[in-house]
Amino acid sequence: MTLSSVKNGKRVTIVSINLGDESVVRLSSLGLVPGAKIRVVYNSMPKVSVIECLGSRFALGRGIPDFVEVR
């Protein structure tokens, strides 16, 4: 499933990130790599997700959550 379909408050593990190299490098610098455990703080329909990873919160927008596979 993709990150955009995860309910608020759920904990998931990143399986893969299906974006261009530049975006993958940027997300990995935030700790968002395959195997990372994250918590979805807030997910909304216009494709914005607020997640918590390594004690920090990040907002992901512009459809990025649609390209992050989680389980």
Domains of the chain: 3-70 (2.30.30.90)
Q: Please check whether residue 70 is in contact with residue 1, taking contact to mean a CB–CB distance below 8 angstroms.
A: yes
Q: Please report which confidence band the pLDDT of residue 53 belongs to, taking 50, 70 and 90 as the band edges.
A: very high
* Per-residue buried b or exposed e for 22-55, using 16+ beta carbons within 10 Å of the residue's own CB: eebeebeeeebeeebebebeebeeeebbbbebee
Mean pLDDT, rounded, for 2-29: 96
Per-residue pLDDT at 46 exceeds 80: no
